[in-house]
Every structure is written in structure tokens, then in C-alpha cells.
Chains A and B, each alone.
Chain A
Amino acid sequence: MLHTVNKSSFERNSLQSCVNIIDDSSVILLIEDGVISATNNTQSSIVSDLASQGRVYALQGDLEARGISSKVADNIKVVDYAGFVDLVVEHGTPVSWV
């Protein structure tokens, strides 16, 4: 499954809830304010394990808009909107953690 998270983990618990519940084959795409959790910061550990397994993506436009594209943590894959579409197609039912 593809799980999208659009909130910073400094503001809401949606990323943590998502990580707690998803199964081993799921991937996460961070969008909108969710991309804050893709950068090197004190909360990036929430996704670091999943990222090392290649299961965390972040939306390029949202990183750039927030001026943080140079601060993306290791192993997080950056995709554009076309990449977002591919993830939706490839990973089955999408779940939004709004």
C-alpha cells in the first residue's frame, strides 16, 4: 500500500500513527508539510528505519517550496508529481493520513 502523510511530525502525530500501523510491504510518501519529516531533524528517526529499507519518498516540489531540498535525510527518495502517480499505480490502495 501507499500511505501519504501531509503533516509535519512537529505539528501532528499522523506520521507516527501511520508508521505504527502499516504493514511490511507498505511505502510512505511525504507531501505538503509532511516533507519536513524527510529532513535531518530531531524527529526524522520516525522514518529512518523505513527509509533504510527504501520505503520512504518525499515530494520534490514541496521540499523545494520550503527551501529544504538540500537537507533531505539519507535513503529518502525524492519524487515529482509524476512519481507520485507512479507510486499510486504501483502500490495498490492508497491511504491518506489526513
Chain B
Amino acid sequence: MKISIQVNEGPYQHQSADTAYQFAKAAIEKGHEIFRVFFYHDGVNNASRFTVPPQDDRNVVNNWADLKNADGSDIDRVVCVAAALRRGMLDESEAGKNSVEGNNIHPAFRISGLGQLIEAGIQSDRLVVFGD
């Protein structure tokens, strides 16, 4: 089956990003395809490349970045642009457009619009929401 995931909360504050990741991993192990993971609300913070957890803790951002589908293809990890900009999450292109110095989106993630969430709902057999 084609499954997409919406993550509504940031890492560490809530368990939802961890649950979403464990669910995605299990789905792939069972032979399903993760069509897209869409990060919304504070979920955009899952994409910060500056995340530095203590060494004995899991790295939620890298977990997402390392997650691959069974055929070895990358998971499509999409960060909502409106939610991201509001919370100070910018990639190089958005930083340029908004005259902000520096950028903090991990290269494994891409910034795009809310249409990607709707499209994930249309294209996938299931869309599962994880939030607070």
C-alpha cells in the first residue's frame, strides 16, 4: 500500500514525531511504500539541520533523513513553507527571497506548499496523522 504521514509536532517536545517514525519504519518493513511525510505546524522543526541532541539520545532529524523505502529510494520529506517561515525554518532559497542570512533546513527535506499534503491524500491509499 501507498501510505503518507502528516507530522504535526516538533521533535523531543512531543512523542508524535517518534511514533510517526516508528510507524513509517514498520510500514516499510512490511513492504508498504511511504509516499510522503508532510511536516506541518511545529512539525517543521523535525527538519532543522542544527539539531544536536545529547549523544545517548536518538536523533529524530537524522532518523527521518536516513529513512529509505524498501527499494532504497529516498522518502519524500516535505516541510510546509508557510508553517516553516512563520517558525524561522528556511532553506537557502527562502532565506534569499526573504533577505535572511543563513538557513537551517536539513538537505534531506524540501520546503513546499500545502498542496503537497492534499496531493499526498489523493495519491496515497492511507494518510495517517500524528500530532499532539
Q: Do A and B come from one complex?
A: yes
B3 touches A88 (CB 8 A): yes
| A85 close to B (CB within 8 Å) | yes
Residue B106 lies at the interface, judged by CB distance under 8 Å to chain A? no
For chain A, residues 62 to 98, give those with C-beta under 8 angstroms from any C-beta of chain B: 80-82, 84-86, 88-89, 93-94, 96, 98
Chain B residues closer than 8 Å to A33, beta-carbon distance: 15
CB–CB A84/B130 < 8 A: no
Q: Give A42 Cβ to nearest chain B Cβ, in Å.
A: 24
A8 at the interface (CB under 8 A from B): no
| A93-B126, A96-B128 known; A85+B23 contact, CB < 8 A | yes
With an 8 Å Cβ cutoff, the count of chain A residues facing the other chain is 18
B16 pairs with A6, CB closer than 8 A: yes
Chain A contact residues: helix, strand, loop or mixed? helix
In the complex, chain B residues whose CB is within 8 Å of the CB of A81: 22-23, 25-26
- Report the bound CA distance from A33 to B16 in whole Å: 11
Could you give, for residues 1-21 of chain B, a 1 whenever the CB lies within 8 Å of some chain A CB and a 0 otherwise?
A: 101000010000001100100
Pick the contact of B30: A82, A93, A96, A98 (CB < 8 A). Answer: A82
CA distance A89 to B74 in the complex (A): 22
Residues of B within 8 A of A94 (CB): 126-129
| Contact assessment for A89 and B132 in the assembled complex, using a CB-CB cutoff below 8 Å | no
Q: Which residues of B contact A31 (CB under 8 A)?
A: 19
Residue of A nearest to B21 (CB): A81
A98 touches B132 (CB 8 A): yes
Chain A nearest CB: distance from B76 CB in Å?
Answer: 19
Q: For the complex, is B32 an interface residue (Cβ under 8 Å from A)?
A: yes
**CA of A98 to CA of B40, assembled, Å:** 14
**Residues of chain A whose beta carbon lies under 8 Å from any beta carbon of chain B:** 4, 6, 31-33, 61, 80-82, 84-86, 88-89, 93-94, 96, 98
